[in-house]
Amino acid sequence: MRSEFDFIQNLKNKYGLSKVGDDCAVLSKDDQTDMVVTADMLVEDIDFRLDWTTPELIGSKALSVSLSDIAAMGANPVFAMISLGVPESCWKTQFVDKFYDGWFTVARHYDVELIGGDLSRTPDKIVIDSTVIGHIAKGKAILRSGAKPGDSIYVTGELGGASAGLMLLESGFRYGKSNQRKKQLISRQLRPTPQVVTGKQLSALGLATAMIDLSDGVSSDLLHICKMSSVGARIYFENIPVNSNLAEFSLNAEQQAGLALSGGEDFELLFTADEKKISQANFQGVTRIGEITASLGIIEVVHHNGVSSLTPKGFRHF
Amino acid sequence: MRSEFDFIQNLKNKYGLSKVGDDCAVLSKDDQTDMVVTADMLVEDIDFRLDWTTPELIGSKALSVSLSDIAAMGANPVFAMISLGVPESCWKTQFVDKFYDGWFTVARHYDVELIGGDLSRTPDKIVIDSTVIGHIAKGKAILRSGAKPGDSIYVTGELGGASAGLMLLESGFRYGKSNQRKKQLISRQLRPTPQVVTGKQLSALGLATAMIDLSDGVSSDLLHICKMSSVGARIYFENIPVNSNLAEFSLNAEQQAGLALSGGEDFELLFTADEKKISQANFQGVTRIGEITASLGIIEVVHHNGVSSLTPKGFRHF
């Protein structure tokens, strides 16, 4: 079966869509400013389950995943729209009110204004489409296409937590009845933190040559950068910053790093940059996990016992 | 049960949403230009049925309904995003390809560029969220709030056709096996034409004081203008331009005009204007159906046998 990535690539080629293919489309606003815009669809029982989370957390995550795309451009989020479809049974409950409560909690934190959207009925499942518009200084948006051989590869924060949280939920664990480590992992899955501040710092300082947010997993998302930049990458497996709560599981270090490499929804940033510049700027909170190579589309993973090539195992809808 | 209109009004009040409440939000682009933006969600078995239409027509309608919102501001559509969620069974067919074929047929006609969106999996129903961005000269967007007592009320085209087409589909008629009149009515439902050119003319000539697109029906949409403008309206029942194909049905003139007044999805424009200016401009293709009054929120309907007040009967999700 064709993947959604192949489908979108074909669509780009067929219709000549030059603005499609990054975390956000970049449009010219005025002489000083560019506008970036992104849309994300979240569907009940595909992207969230009502018995795993709360209406407030669904609302907050709906905005956060789009803010993460804005962050991946280095932009400042400004406006948002939310389209929400719910079945009539859900409309009669407090779901929609609580959803917006959660949504506005995040919106206020990032000073994002709701400017529109839609409210619709669905036959039986909840559907959300989240749109966010951001602003960034002219020409400063960080694309996926700017990585060059020799650039170092960095990630923010720790990886694998959201994926482990999903595993816990799938295994029947729930936030309320879990220990502290499990709570933190489940929270990584249900309440992601978009790296808006770090994204803006990286663009303001001109440090990142390419950037993407980690929604599908390092293995999948790094491949997007490699394809768009016509480069390859080498990852040092031992350098991957593994979420410390993964110690909760009976996994060896290799298994933990594997989860961190393939697990999606951490919503951290992955970016490429000149190592010297990052060092000179004393940029905090990021980990160097590898470097960009000239081996087009090939991602090598260096383990303590050798080198293997990486097969993307991140999240795919199709 | 609370209506979606009440819910949105409460949300506006609770969170101070000044940009919500028109067909599009208006944002400042640069010194010369404003940007307008709209989002519309379409859901299988609520807004369309697969056995009534084709994938191409679903794609074309998804864009057209948003273009109609852009038209209602008097703006020029420029960019669009489409978020599409389909079940896996649908992904394996040609549905998505044909959907985009239909979408791009309309996009090319109006010179709209696809800049992003999302492609997602759903459990069983198709869901679409359509976003369109338009441009308009600074301060020239036509809002719902500008109607003044004494303004005349106009509509473009003929009304009631889309609603009659829906009735035909619900009664088991299908496009392919229908006579010419029925085909035209079904086509009004499945292939609406956004009034982009007329909308742009009205803003360019500065003729309309308030405008809305007829998505829910005259009775419902005119009430939005009255509420936002703090005015009332008087409609002349006999003046309503009824779709000539309604003669297909065994309805008297009153019943036909009733359908034209309450039926949704005609995607014509309803606007208010100074009658002299419309006349002086020799503006074609519009019909004067009434006038704005000072009776806040009250819509009177003048029949040949008297006056009644109008109860909105347009489409509502909740």
Closest CA to B15 of A284, A22, A30, A106: A106
**Are A37 and B133 inside 8 Å of each other by CB?**
yes
What is the edge-to-edge ordering of all strands in the sheet holding A306-309? A208-213, A269-273, A152-156, A286-293, A232-236, A299-303, A306-309
Q: Which of A1, A100, A116 sits opposite B19 (nearest CB)?
A: A116
Question: Which carries the bigger pLDDT value, residue A297 or residue A49?
Answer: A49
Which tokens hold the place of A282? 């004393």
Residue of A nearest to B34 (CA): A29
Judged against a pLDDT cut of 80, whether residue B312 lies above it is answered with no
Contact of B55 with B153, CB cutoff 8 Å:
no
Close Cβ partners of B80 (under 8 Å, ≥ 6 residues apart): B63, B66, B107, B112, B113, B114, B115, B130, B131, B132, B133
Confidence of residue A1 (pLDDT cuts 50, 70, 90): confident
pLDDT of residue B258: 85
By mean pLDDT, which of B233-237, B247-251, B272-276 is the weakest? B247-251
Residues facing A211 on adjacent strands: A271
pLDDT of residue A257: 85
Averaged confidence pLDDT in chain B:
95
**Are A79 and B29 inside 8 Å of each other by CB?**
no
Residue A39 forms contact with B (CB below 8 Å): yes
Confidence of residue B5 (pLDDT cuts 50, 70, 90): confident
How many residues are there in chain A?
A: 318
Beta-carbon count within 10 A of B280 CB: 10
Contact of B130 with B62, CB cutoff 8 Å:
yes
**Are B39 and A116 inside 8 Å of each other by CB?**
yes
Averaged confidence pLDDT in chain A:
95
B162-211 pLDDT, tens digit per residue, is 999 999 999 999 999 999 999 999 999 999 999 999 999 999 999 999 99
Which chain B residues are within 8 Å of A100, Cβ to Cβ? 11, 15
What long-range pairs does A176-185 form, CB within 8 A, spacing at least 24? A181/A245, A181/A247, A181/A248, A182/A245, A182/A248, A184/A245, A185/A161, A185/A243, A185/A245, A185/A246, A185/A248
**Are A127 and B127 inside 8 Å of each other by CB?**
yes
Interface residue of B14, B83, B112, B215 to substitute, partner A, most A CBs within 10 Å: B83
Beta-carbon count within 10 A of B306 CB: 7
Q: Which of B19, B121, B317 sits opposite A113 (nearest CB)?
A: B19
DSSP letter string, B231-251 = -EEEEEGGGS-B-GGGGGSS-
**Residues 219 through 238 of chain A touching chain B, CB cutoff 8 Å:** none
Q: How far off is chain A from B210, nearest CA to CA, in Å?
A: 19
Q: How far is the C-alpha of A147 from the C-alpha of A169, rounded, in Å?
A: 36
**DSSP H/E element including B116:** strand B113-121
C-alpha separations of B112 from A102, B65, B80, B137 in Å: 34, 14, 7, 18
Q: How far is the C-alpha of B200 from the C-alpha of B71, rounded, in Å?
A: 7
B57-87 pLDDT, tens digit per residue, is 999 999 999 999 999 999 999 999 999 999 9
A58-75 pLDDT, tens digit per residue, is 999 999 999 999 999 999
B98-117 pLDDT, tens digit per residue, is 999 999 999 999 999 999 99
Judged against a pLDDT cut of 80, whether residue A313 lies above it is answered with no
Confidence of residue B310 (pLDDT cuts 50, 70, 90): confident
A220-236 pLDDT, tens digit per residue, is 999 999 999 999 999 99
Q: Which of B20, B37, B114 sits opposite A20 (nearest CB)?
A: B114
pLDDT of residue B274: 98
Q: Which of B41, B100, B113 sits opposite A129 (nearest CB)?
A: B41
Residue of A nearest to B99 (CA): A11
How many residues are there in chain B?
A: 318
**Are B43 and A120 inside 8 Å of each other by CB?**
yes
Which chain A residues are within 8 Å of B73, Cβ to Cβ? none
Express as a percent the part of chain B with pLDDT over 70: 99
Residue B168 phi, psi dihedral angles, 5° rounding: -60, -45
C-alpha separations of B90 from A30, A163, B138 in Å: 42, 28, 43
Which tokens hold the place of A192? 């992601």
Interface residue of A83, A100, A112 to substitute, partner B, most B CBs within 10 Å: A83
Residues facing B7 on adjacent strands: none
pLDDT of residue A52: 96
pLDDT of residue B316: 76
* pTM of the model as a whole: 0.96
A232-291 pLDDT, tens digit per residue, is 999 999 999 999 999 888 888 888 888 899 999 999 999 999 999 999 999 999 999 999
Span A174-184, mean pLDDT? 94
pLDDT of residue B201: 98
Residue A117 forms contact with B (CB below 8 Å): yes
Residue A45 forms contact with B (CB below 8 Å): yes
C-alpha separations of B209 from B151, B221, B239 in Å: 8, 15, 21
Angle (deg, nearest 10), helices B196-204 and B55-71: 10
Contact of A133 with A36, CB cutoff 8 Å:
yes
Interface residue of A73, A122, A138, A316 to substitute, partner B, most B CBs within 10 Å: A122
**Are A122 and B46 inside 8 Å of each other by CB?**
yes
Confidence of residue B1 (pLDDT cuts 50, 70, 90): confident
Which tokens hold the place of A263? 């697990």
Q: How far off is chain A from B182, nearest CA to CA, in Å?
A: 28
Which chain B residues are within 8 Å of A84, Cβ to Cβ? 41
A129-166 pLDDT, tens digit per residue, is 999 999 999 999 999 999 999 999 999 999 999 999 99
A37-50 pLDDT, tens digit per residue, is 999 999 999 999 99
Residue B27 forms contact with A (CB below 8 Å): yes
- Interior angle at CA A118, CA A38 and CA B131, nearest 5: 40
Q: How far is the C-alpha of B223 from the C-alpha of B212, rounded, in Å?
A: 10
pLDDT of residue B315: 74
Q: How far is the C-alpha of B254 from the C-alpha of B303, rounded, in Å?
A: 9
Q: How far off is chain B from A288, nearest CA to CA, in Å?
A: 30
Judged against a pLDDT cut of 80, whether residue A311 lies above it is answered with no
Burial environment of residue B18 by CB neighbours within 10 A (0 to 12, 13 to 18, 19 or more): exposed
Confidence of residue B2 (pLDDT cuts 50, 70, 90): confident
B279-305 pLDDT, tens digit per residue, is 999 999 999 999 999 999 899 999 988
**Residues 75 through 94 of chain A touching chain B, CB cutoff 8 Å:** 79, 81, 83-85, 88, 91-92
Residue A69 forms contact with B (CB below 8 Å): no
pLDDT of residue B121: 96
Question: Which carries the bigger pLDDT value, residue B135 or residue A297?
Answer: B135
pLDDT of residue A22: 95
Residues facing A282 on adjacent strands: none
pLDDT of residue A289: 98
